[in-house]
Structure 1
Amino acid sequence: MASKSTLENETRTLSQDLQDAKEKLARAEAETRALRLSLDEKTSEMERAQKDLVAVSQQLHESQSLAAAYSDKQKHLEECLNSARQEVAAVASAKSSLEQQVKQLVAEIELTRQKCQHSED
């Protein structure tokens, strides 16, 4: 009978150990599922972040290209402005020279008119 009692005790102990092991296994499986779900979420977040990074990189490249184009246009406009300033200076110089010539011609005409008037008198 002691042997049967010992076997029953061992059976109960083993059954309890088996039950404990099953519970631990169930908890471990639940934790594993939770970790996999978390990993999947993090992977999705990383993929979205990667796509965002690519989009930002493309926008940066486009912005740099636009900045370079605007810089080139600004240089061209500055060259045009400098050229226009030089032309204005040349026109002003020519105008001044022509005004001087006109004054000279007017003076010569006046002198000639006066000479003609004196000779008529």
Structure 2
Amino acid sequence: MSLGATFLPPFPVSHKHLSLPIKGNKTEILISSYEDRFLVIATQIGTMGTILHARKEEGMPINPTFNVSVIFGKRDEQMLEACARQLIEHMSSSSGSSKPLVLSLGLKDHSTETLKAIVSAVIDNRLW
């Protein structure tokens, strides 16, 4: 049995991985662009945390509306929903894409500053 290197093909989904400190907490961010949706995972605790789904309502080209819902996790955290709303609004306005967003936030700190830093990092490293 050989212990030589195994070469795996590249991951078939466009993605970016970031690791940055936010308010003293090491924060890992993974951004993936699938054919039918975007996935953003931001964690300071090493797990998925609260999972949200955000999408642009179809049929509203002028003054679009956005729907954000919690799939799993904390349902009483309005700041997490605001984070998802900011991201989906930016994604749809800057790219014209109507792909929905699945956002996972596993954070130690749910402050406005932390969430703004995550939104900025995702926008600066966009895949749309």
The structure with the larger Rg is 1
Task: Using structure 2 for the length normalisation, give the TM-score.
Answer: 0.16
More helix by share: 1
Task: Using structure 1 for the length normalisation, give the TM-score.
Answer: 0.17
| Larger RCO, structure (CA 8 Å, separation 6 or more) | 2
